[in-house]
Structure 1
Amino acid sequence: MYRQSHVASIRRRPSRPLGRESWPGGHLLKLHPGLVEATFVRRLNRFVALLSCRGGQVMAHVANSGRLEELLSPENRMLLTPVDPSSGRKTAFDLTLVEVDGVLVSADARLPNALLQEAIEDRRLPEFAAYDSSEREVQFHDSRLDIRLTGRTGSYYIEAKSVTLVEDGMGIFPDAPTERGRKHLGALTKAVACGHEAAVAFVVQRPDVGSVSPNLRTDPEFCRALAAAAESGVNVFAYRCSVTESSILIDSSIPVRIPMKTADEG
């Protein structure tokens, strides 16, 4: 059984005011116009994959430390972003999108920060409407959190988590044990104890989901930590993205379901 939490983050930038006008459809994060199609061969390490492309083999940077077993398969279509040759990088491409059974999935775990900040600044997320300015990658005690909003009521600390694993229409996080994720939940709990608002935001970078749940099977410690954080006053939100070959957009909020067993044990 699950309990439902109306319970959800941000790139480093100087603090800046919120309140740009929004427009129908929201703000799109545009992708590179010249994505290159490739076939997955194997993962060389956590952050580099070998792919077959243009009659040869190339290496691509994988900006995601998760296992990505459901994405990194020769059966799925890979879409790569070319890297400027003058950059001096060892990898000529970034892995950007993966098509799984006709569904486009963003594989880049760096994007949720930007997606969430744009949605907040466009005033499309009413849960953050009381805050006037944002700052990225802020230090809070011994942790670095993705975003801090400030306003007349004080500060709001937010940590974003990228979700790519989907099972039976439910987004699952994490797909590998995450000690770092548990540390972030501890920092958010501490922020609440200090009188601030705090939230963890699960950004699902694919459209085929209706809810999000912590991965009890893979990381029960994270599940317990999430349940404890929610009980302590940390808000938990989840957002679904619309993904095309040219852009990504947070298009809706979806519920988070925390297993009741985990909540009781927490």
Structure 2
Amino acid sequence: MQLPPVRTNAILVKRYKRFLADVQLPNQEPMTVHCPNSGSMLGCSTPGSPVIISRSDNPGRKYPWTLEMVQSKGVWIGVNTSMTNKLVHEALLNGTIDNFGSITKISPEKKVSEKSRLDFLLESARGLTYLEVKNCSLAHNQLAIFPDAVTARGTKHLVELMHLANQGSAAAVLFCIQRGDVDSFAPATEIDPVYAQTLQQVAKEGVQVLAYLAEVTPEAVTVTRQVPVHLDHA
């Protein structure tokens, strides 16, 4: 998926209030940009890091520029979580993500309870599959890990998937890893042990756990391949 055409390099000054970041442009001018990431951005929000920002063509936005990616130790990391579902949707359509058979229909934001929605309902020759997608930006020693902060909402989604699996529906969670320096995935046990334990539990109950790597460059982000999942990683 191509980034918006109007973009530039900058230097991260600080990220704050969850959805804002201050950057310094190449001409040394400061600017506040929108940061579309509600996570902690642990490991990819260090002041002084190179970043890529893009300009929206929406004239009504208070902050026209968006933080797209951050460079850490020479590696570009996608931090725009509003792009994650679009990346996965694209990869489902072009067959890069091929775990569900030939897909005939993709329905986004599928309501599964009074207070909860899952990201996709997939229709294929194999039947229906409920799919929840998570963006993964944190890594340690070539291992991608999620979450980067305690996530009660994420745990709730896992439980919803487990309930669907127990009722006979196909259900899956997919971790989209927006960085290229890893070769496998595991839950971040030390950060959120409840999430990690729940992920192990739902996998035993029939929820498919998948992880896919995305290639991140200053021009585009593209899902490329599946990587192994280690649910018992300590």
Question: Which range, TM-score by smaller chain?
Answer: over 0.9
Please show how residues 7-46 of structure 1 align to structure 2 within 5 Å: 29-46=1-18
Q: 2:217 and 2:53 mapped to 1: Cα distance?
A: 14
* Counterpart residue number, 1:64: 37
Correspondence 1:187 to 2:160 = yes
SS of corresponding position for 2:54: strand
CA-to-aligned-CA distance 1:4-40 (integer Å, 9 cap, x gap): xxxxxxxxxxxxxxxxxxxxxxxxx011233222221
Instruction: After TM superposition, give the deviation of residue 56 of structure 1 in Å.
Output: 2.3
Where structure 2 has 5 or more consecutive residues not aligned to the other structure, the ranges are none
Work out whether residues 67 and 79 of structure 2, in 8 Å CA contact, stay in contact via their aligned partners in 1: yes
> Aligned pair in 2 of structure 1 residues 124, 39: CA closer, same or farther (>3 Å)?
closer
Instruction: After TM superposition, give the deviation of residue 130 of structure 1 in Å.
Output: 4.5
* Counterpart residue number, 1:168: 141
Work out whether residues 58 and 92 of structure 1, in 8 Å CA contact, stay in contact via their aligned partners in 2: no
Instruction: After TM superposition, give the deviation of residue 163 of structure 1 in Å.
Output: 0.5
Please show how residues 1-266 of structure 1 align to structure 2 within 5 Å: 29-53=1-25, 54-84=27-57, 86-87=59-60, 89-141=61-113, 142-259=115-232
TM-score (norm 1): 0.83
Q: 1:173 and 1:44 mapped to 2: Cα distance?
A: 21
Identity, % of aligned positions: 31
* Counterpart residue number, 1:26: none
Q: 2:140 and 2:182 mapped to 1: Cα distance?
A: 9
Across the two proteins, how many residue pairs are aligned to each other? 232
CA-to-aligned-CA distance 1:124-164 (integer Å, 9 cap, x gap): 33311144211111101231100001234431000011000
Could you say what the CA RMSD is over the residues aligned between the two structures, in angstroms? 1.6
Instruction: After TM superposition, give the deviation of residue 62 of structure 1 in Å.
Output: 1.0
Letter in 2 for 1:70: G
SS of corresponding position for 1:126: coil
Structure ranking higher on relative contact order (CA contacts 8 Å, 6+ apart): 1
Work out whether residues 19 and 36 of structure 2, in 8 Å CA contact, stay in contact via their aligned partners in 1: yes
Q: 2:192 and 2:204 mapped to 1: Cα distance?
A: 19
Letter in 1 for 2:9: E
Work out whether residues 166 and 172 of structure 1, in 8 Å CA contact, stay in contact via their aligned partners in 2: yes
Q: 2:173 and 2:34 mapped to 1: Cα distance?
A: 26
Q: 2:134 and 2:96 mapped to 1: Cα distance?
A: 19
CA-to-aligned-CA distance 1:46-103 (integer Å, 9 cap, x gap): 111112223322111111111113111223101100133622x221310001121221
Q: 2:52 and 2:189 mapped to 1: Cα distance?
A: 31
SS of corresponding position for 2:230: strand
Q: 2:140 and 2:216 mapped to 1: Cα distance?
A: 18
Instruction: After TM superposition, give the deviation of residue 117 of structure 1 in Å.
Output: 1.2
